[in-house]
């Protein structure tokens, strides 16, 4: 277990009790947010436009782009630093001599690329002109959609979501579908490649007039998330967009410190069951979530996968167990089923309470 993370920072911005300033911080629909993890990635290749469109029409509240950086400073929507597992890069023989090895291991992040192809070793134009296409990272999910969709730049994802919100608005929703953006390998890019991914992200958001809560709420709600505190601290000196500290279960976190710069926490799901030596249980509220709520933070754990269940034998019971922990949102690779289960669970609570549904969920009556 690594020691708890705390950092000195020249301009810490205390965020405690400021979530009320973010109009989309909590879901007004009365259910946890459904955050489509890399889009509807249980059905389609990660981060493809098709995956994002499917998640949108399935009713997800947010699509979740991960960011990598090309050699020429373009932000590419891709989870891994290397491309073998999620693209057809090995089929592009002109890049055979670009294979490399890279390993990064810190308190905050880890990745290992062996005989692989680093995104940052290519320009965006090289990737576009070569015919690079996305593939599903799990063969058991099927390969029918492999090599059909090109990767997107962050600009492409923003344009796409703005277009969906404008031309196919979600009915009965008080806010527009947004993007929940993750900065990846911040330290690697900054220290090894002299690239500040957080600064690049801010510049793109500024270009689209999305760099503040007030602007984003009108057309494309934005969350900024990262495992690495450096980029979150950067954003808190630049903007009031909500930030979320991602957490992995091999790391201890000083929640008092986290709440000084983050509006929320994004823990690995296992942390909902074993925080602070709590007794393992499936249906009692999580001690971690209770502590985060006391400190004014929302909690969005990762990642729910209908075809890779952990706590139950079916996706319905699995989601109910997560919800019972007190979550405010959930990263899921199957947004359609997740949303349906959460809505059904919410309706059941309304019926059992005898409360008029219109009192709790205004949209259901409009």
- Whether 85 and 164 map to the same domain: the answer is no
Is residue 278 included in any domain, yes or no? Answer: yes
Quote the pLDDT of residue 161: 98
- Percent of residues in the chain assigned helix, strand, coil, to nearest 5: 40, 20, 45
Helices (H), strands (E): how many in the chain?
A: 12, 15
Quote the pLDDT of residue 12: 46
Of 121, 141, 161, the residue that ends a domain is 141
249 pLDDT more than 60: yes
Q: Which of the pair, 19 or 49, is modelled with greater confidence? A: 49
- Of the given ranges (82-86, 247-251, 287-291), which has the lowest mean pLDDT? 247-251
- Whether 135 and 161 map to the same domain: the answer is no
- Whether 132 and 233 map to the same domain: the answer is no
- Whether 218 and 312 map to the same domain: the answer is yes
Query: What average pLDDT score do residues 38-60 get?
Result: 97
User: For 151-192, where are the E strands, in sequence order?
Assistant: 152-153, 178-183
pTM: 0.92
Is residue 108 included in any domain, yes or no? Answer: yes
Query: Is-contact 319 341, C-beta < 8 A?
Result: yes
- Whether 64 and 114 map to the same domain: the answer is no
- Whether 54 and 14 map to the same domain: the answer is yes
- Whether 51 and 12 map to the same domain: the answer is yes
Distance CA 308, CA 143 (A): 18
Q: Which of the pair, 364 or 179, is modelled with greater confidence? A: 179
Of 141, 161, 180, the residue that ends a domain is 141
Quote the pLDDT of residue 223: 98
Q: Determine what percent of the chain is predicted with pLDDT higher than 70.
A: 91
Query: Is-contact 228 187, C-beta < 8 A?
Result: yes
Is residue 146 included in any domain, yes or no? Answer: no
Query: What average pLDDT score do residues 65-90 get?
Result: 97
Query: What average pLDDT score do residues 146-161 get?
Result: 98
186 confidence band (pLDDT: 50, 70, 90): very high
Is residue 311 included in any domain, yes or no? Answer: yes
- Whether 119 and 268 map to the same domain: the answer is no
- Whether 127 and 164 map to the same domain: the answer is no
- Whether 54 and 136 map to the same domain: the answer is no
Is residue 258 included in any domain, yes or no? Answer: yes
Of 141, 163, 181, the residue that ends a domain is 141
- Whether 206 and 292 map to the same domain: the answer is yes
User: For the chain, where are the E strands, in sequence order?
Assistant: 2-5, 33-37, 62-64, 66-69, 75-77, 100-105, 110-116, 152-153, 178-183, 222-226, 243-247, 251-253, 264-267, 298-299, 329-332
108 confidence band (pLDDT: 50, 70, 90): confident
Quote the pLDDT of residue 13: 47
pLDDT, tens digit, for every residue of 303-362?
999 999 999 999 999 999 999 999 999 999 999 999 999 999 998 888 777 765 554 444
pLDDT, tens digit, for every residue of 345-356?
998 888 777 765
Quote the pLDDT of residue 172: 75
Distance CA 121, CA 72 (A): 9
- Whether 198 and 338 map to the same domain: the answer is yes
pLDDT, tens digit, for every residue of 226-245?
999 999 999 999 999 999 99
Query: Domain count of the chain?
Result: 2
Quote the pLDDT of residue 5: 47
- Specify the CATH number for the domain of residue 35: 3.20.20.190
Is residue 326 included in any domain, yes or no? Answer: yes
Q: Which domain holds residue 91?
A: 81-141
Query: What average pLDDT score do residues 201-217 get?
Result: 97
Is residue 330 included in any domain, yes or no? Answer: yes
Is residue 147 included in any domain, yes or no? Answer: no
User: For 117-176, where are the E strands, in sequence order?
Assistant: 152-153
φ, ψ (nearest 5 deg) of residue 118: -70, 130
Helix (H) or strand (E) holding 312, with range, is none
Q: Which of the pair, 139 or 294, is modelled with greater confidence? A: 294
């Amino acid at each position: 277990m690594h020691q708890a993370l705390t950092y000195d920072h020249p301009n810490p911005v205390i965020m405690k009790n400021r979530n009320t300033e973010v109009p989309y911080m909590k879901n007004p629909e009365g259910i946890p947010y459904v955050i489509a993890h890399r889009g509807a990635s249980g059905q389609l290749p990660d981060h493809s436009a098709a995956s994002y469109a499917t998640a949108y029409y399935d009713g997800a509240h947010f699509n979740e782009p991960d960011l990598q950086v090309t050699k020429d400073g373009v932000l590419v929507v891709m989870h891994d630093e290397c491309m073998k597992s999620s693209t057809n890069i090995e089929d592009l023989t002109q890049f055979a001599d670009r294979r490399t090895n890279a390993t990064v291991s810190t308190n905050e992040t880890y990745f290992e690329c062996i005989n692989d192809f680093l995104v940052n070793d290519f320009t965006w134009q090289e990737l576009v002109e070569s015919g690079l296409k996305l593939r599903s990272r799990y063969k058991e999910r099927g390969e029918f959609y492999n090599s059909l969709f090109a990767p997107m730049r962050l600009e492409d994802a923003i344009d796409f979501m703005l277009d969906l919100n404008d031309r196919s608005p979600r009915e009965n929703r008080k806010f527009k579908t947004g993007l929940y953006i993750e900065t990846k390998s911040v330290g690697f890019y900054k220290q090894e490649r002299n690239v500040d991914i957080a600064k690049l992200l801010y510049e793109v958001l500024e270009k689209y007039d999305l760099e503040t809560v007030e602007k984003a709420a009108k057309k494309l709600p934005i969350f900024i998330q990262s495992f690495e505190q450096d980029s979150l601290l950067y954003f808190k000196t630049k903007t009031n967009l909500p930030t979320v500290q991602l957490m992995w279960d091999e790391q201890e976190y000083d929640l008092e410190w986290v709440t000084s710069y983050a509006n929320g926490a994004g823990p690995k799901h296992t942390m909902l069951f074993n925080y602070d030596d709590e007794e393992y249980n499936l249906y009692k509220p999580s001690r971690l979530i209770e502590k985060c709520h006391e400190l004014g933070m929302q909690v969005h754990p990762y990642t729910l996968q209908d075809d890779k269940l952990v706590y139950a034998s079916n996706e319905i019971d699995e989601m109910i167990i997560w919800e019972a922990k007190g979550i405010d949102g959930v990263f899921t690779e199957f947004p359609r089923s997740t949303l349906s289960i959460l809505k059904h669970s919410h309706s059941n609570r309304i019926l059992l309470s005898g409360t008029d549904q219109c009192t709790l969920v205004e949209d259901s009556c409009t």
